[in-house]
């Protein structure tokens, strides 16, 4: 019998991406936190629990010693939706096998990996259940398996699901593990679970495999935020649920009172939080219960931080595909939901709530509080060439009628046992690969680019952009939050820092920005010419005529700085330079 107090445990986070759960850095999923809490609850001391991400093992090979020497090695991972990632690279199957081979103690694998493993983490793939050479695979909840395995002296466990009382206790007790995450404390966002399971049964989705929705009471989620705050976390996302509007209700209808208790409670225990975002919102809920949904959306927009995104699972605007895959919302219904979210939450800080959607020259230069994001999935049963045109028509209508989408997520299906798509597999997705590629380019050019200009026009300020990597003479970074904009900044700046940025140009899925406010006494030529309407000649004149001296505390300092350039404050491109520049006196400026 292994004494839990003498047990050494290593947790390896291979990252997760599920329809209603995300854990690729800078996100940390619930799995390692709950698992750590279950270990503590079973009697393992905190100081005997070690946590590594798969990237941490790649970057520092010496850390593999913890995998080798642990009495119990736990791997957490699994991708049930395909994606592209900037902050980390999910573990591939061969790496997971290496973990099992390296571990000399007992090895346990869990998380969404239980649903199946493909040859790679990509769309248009089929999967199968594998043990990847681990001693144990948790076919129920991995945190419950860990708890029971430790209590059994590492002899075994029954595959079971944890209950609400257990997860609420383990969530608080496991919060400490975030301090071992490589991104802690400044560049880490904690995924929070309000519920799991789904009332609907779309053909491709693994979320219904968790059963009908089961909600955590608001005080338990608030208590988890309180504990995470005590361990330095300032960024949170309510992402672990199929539909945030259904929180605290019967699984389908909105419950605004429960949302108010949840959001206001989080704000009370974490008054200094820097990010409060969400992920999934079911458009059919908005259409079926419009007034309650409007109230719930207003509550969210009152308490969240700007730039929030509600992912809408339209999946397809083609009625044939909708019917054959049990999709629960039509294109017309989804359009109505887009309209309602824009009206109730498409306003920007500095405006009155309910003014949305706002964009154009008179709109404040901050991101809207909450916008919908559209998920489109290809390779589903019944897909045809017309499907792609119907999707394009839907997106174009949203734009033409003056509404905003934060992003359009286009992907190809992954097939998992236990879902209706397992019979079809990835055959349709593979057959339509060429069509999918050209259609995706059309969406990026015809929809994403003009929509991004509407959501974040030139001069929009993005606070606290974390600088992540260099490429092609630029520095790239993102804010923390749901689907944050990728920002390219001229020049190679020190990585790991956080700066405020003003948007100056737009790509398909990213923007170009300059530091805000841009000091014309120190700005580079590349930074100056990035501003709309400032060409090489004007930028050269600015540099030659430096320094510019403005009195401290001048309320019109930015406008004066623009005038000091010797050009109109409004450029030929129609952009007001006072949105970008200031002038700070240096030692060489009298």
Q: What are the residues whose beta carbons fall under 8 Å from the beta carbon of 535, sequence distance 6 or more?
A: 529
- Reported as a pLDDT band with limits 50, 70 and 90, residue 208 is low
Three-class secondary structure assignment of 134-170 = CCEECCCCHHHHHHHHHHCCCCCCCCCCCCHHHHHHH
Same domain? 168 vs 274 = no
Q: How far is CA 350 from CA 169, 216, 372, 456, 570, in A?
A: 39, 34, 20, 15, 23
What CA–CA distance (Å, rounded) separates 585 from 56?
A: 43
| pLDDT score of 418 | 57
**Using one digit for the tens of pLDDT, what is the confidence trace for 379-413?**
888 889 999 999 999 999 999 999 999 999 998 87
Strand partners, 391: none
Measured in whole angstroms, the distance separating CA 344 from the mean position of its chain's CA atoms is 22
Query: Quick check: is 446 in a domain?
Result: yes
Same domain? 374 vs 496 = no
Query: Quick check: is 233 in a domain?
Result: no
Query: Quick check: is 238 in a domain?
Result: no
Query: Quick check: is 539 in a domain?
Result: yes
Which pTM was predicted? 0.89
Same domain? 181 vs 201 = no
Query: Quick check: is 547 in a domain?
Result: yes
Query: Quick check: is 67 in a domain?
Result: yes
Q: In the predicted model, is pLDDT for residue 481 greater than 80? A: yes
Same domain? 412 vs 522 = no
Taking each helix axis from N to C end, the angle separating 290-303 and 331-345, rounded to the nearest 10 degrees, works out to 40
Query: Quick check: is 365 in a domain?
Result: yes
Q: Shortest CA distance to 457 belongs to which of 579, 562, 356, 556? A: 579
**Using one digit for the tens of pLDDT, what is the confidence trace for 36-90?**
999 999 999 999 999 999 999 999 999 999 999 999 999 999 887 666 788 899 9
Total domains in the chain come to 4
Torsion angles phi and psi, residue 575, rounded to 5: -105, 130
Token readout for 231 is 């361990």
Token readout for 333 is 């219904």
Q: Which residue has the tokens 């809490």?
A: 37
Same domain? 465 vs 550 = no
Q: For residue 546, what are the domain limits?
A: 518-589
Same domain? 36 vs 112 = yes
Is the CB of residue 177 less than 8 Å from the CB of residue 29?
A: no
């Amino acid at each position: 019998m292994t004494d839990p107090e003498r047990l050494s445990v290593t947790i390896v986070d291979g990252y997760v991406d599920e329809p209603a759960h995300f854990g690729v850095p800078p996100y940390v999923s619930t799995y390692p936190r709950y698992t750590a809490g279950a270990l503590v609850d079973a009697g393992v001391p905190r100081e005997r629990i070690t946590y590594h991400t798969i990237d941490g093992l790649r970057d520092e090979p010496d850390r593999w010693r913890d995998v080798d020497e642990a009495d119990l090695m736990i791997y957490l991972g699994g991708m049930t939706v395909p994606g592209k990632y900037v902050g980390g690279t999910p573990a591939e199957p061969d790496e997971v096998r290496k973990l099992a081979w390296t571990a000399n103690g007992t090895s346990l694998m869990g998380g969404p990996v239980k649903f199946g493993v493909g040859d790679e983490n990509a769309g248009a793939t089929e999967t199968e259940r594998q043990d990847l050479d681990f001693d144990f695979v948790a076919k129920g909840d991995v945190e419950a398996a860990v708890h029971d395995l430790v209590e059994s002296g590492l002899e075994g466990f029954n595959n079971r699901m944890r209950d609400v009382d257990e997860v609420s206790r383990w969530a608080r007790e496991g919060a400490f593990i975030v301090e071992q995450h490589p991104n802690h404390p400044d560049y880490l966002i904690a995924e929070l679970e309000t519920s799991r399971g789904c009332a609907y049964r779309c053909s491709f989705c693994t979320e219904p495999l968790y059963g009908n929705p089961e909600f955590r009471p608001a005080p338990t989620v608030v208590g988890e935020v309180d504990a995470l705050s005590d361990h330095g976390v300032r960024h949170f996302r309510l992402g672990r649920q199929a539909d945030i509007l259904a929180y605290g209700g019967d699984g389908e209808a909105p419950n605004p009172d429960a949302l108010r208790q949840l959001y206001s409670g989080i704000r009370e225990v974490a008054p200094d939080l820097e990010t409060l975002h969400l992920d999934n919102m079911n458009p059919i809920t908005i259409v079926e219960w419009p007034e309650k949904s409007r109230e719930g959306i207003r509550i969210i927009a009152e308490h969240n931080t700007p730039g929030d995104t509600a992912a809408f699972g339209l999946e397809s605007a083609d009625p044939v595909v909708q019917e054959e895959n049990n999709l629960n919302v039509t294109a017309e219904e989804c359009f109505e939901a887009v309209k309602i979210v824009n009206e109730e939450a498409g306003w920007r800080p500095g405006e009155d709530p309910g003014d949305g959607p706002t964009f154009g020259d008179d709109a404040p230069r901050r991101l809207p509080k909450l916008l919908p994001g559209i998920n489109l999935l290809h390779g589903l049963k019944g897909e045809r060439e017309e499907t792609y045109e119907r999707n394009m028509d839907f997106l174009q209508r949203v734009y033409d009628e003056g509404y905003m989408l934060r992003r359009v997520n286009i992907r190809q299906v992954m097939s998992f046992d236990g879902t209706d798509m397992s019979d079809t597999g990835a055959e349709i997705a593979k057959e339509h690969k060429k069509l999918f590629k050209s259609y995706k380019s059309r969406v990026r050019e015809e929809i994403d680019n003009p929509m991004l200009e509407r959501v974040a026009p030139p001069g929009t300020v993005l606070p606290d952009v974390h600088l992540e990597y260099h490429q092609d003479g630029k520095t790239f970074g993102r804010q923390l939050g749901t689907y944050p904009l990728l920002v390219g900044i001229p020049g190679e700046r020190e990585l790991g820092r956080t700066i405020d940025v003003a948007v100056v140009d737009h790509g398909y899925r990213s923007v170009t920005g300059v530091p805000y406010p841009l000091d014309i006494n120190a700005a580079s030529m590349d930074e100056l010419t990035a501003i709309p309407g400032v060409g090489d000649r004007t930028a050269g004149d600015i540099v030659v005529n430096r320094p510019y001296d403005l009195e401290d505390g001048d309320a019109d300092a930015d406008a004066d700085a623009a005038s000091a350039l010797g050009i109109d404050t409004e450029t030929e491109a129609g952009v007001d330079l006072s949105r970008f520049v200031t002038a700070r006196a240096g030692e060489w400026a009298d």
